[in-house]
Amino acid sequence: MADISRNTLYAIPDDQASSTYRFIIVAAKRARQLQNGQRSVLPAANKKPTVLAMEEVRRGLVPYTDLNQPEEVSLTE
């Protein structure tokens, strides 16, 4: 039961697999963007970029693309 609550803490809301690994990768890339000067979409109560990035990803505010998913092919072409 602890695994379920812990996994939801470190998961992207729209991720079908609830991958903790994907959450970490997306949050790390977002933290790097924040360190390089991009502004956070959340009020900066905590100035640490890693904490801000994790909260942004947890709330679903960071768009990402999964390059491992095959794109849908239209059969009408």
Measure the CA–CA gap between 36 and 51, rounded to whole angstroms.
15
Q: Is the pLDDT of residue 71 over 80?
A: no
Domain ranges of the chain: 11-58
Range with top average pLDDT, 6-10, 14-18, 20-24, 42-46: 20-24
pTM greater than 0.85 (yes/no):
no
Stretch among 7-16, 41-50, 65-74 having the lowest mean pLDDT: 65-74
Q: Smallest Cα–Cα separation from 30: which of 8, 65, 63? A: 63
- CB count within 10 Å of CB 12 equals 21
DSSP 44: -
For residue 63, CA distances in Å to 5, 24, 76 come to: 23, 14, 29
Q: pLDDT tens for residues 20-68? A: 888 888 899 999 999 999 998 888 776 889 999 989 988 888 887 776 6
- Residue type at position 9: L
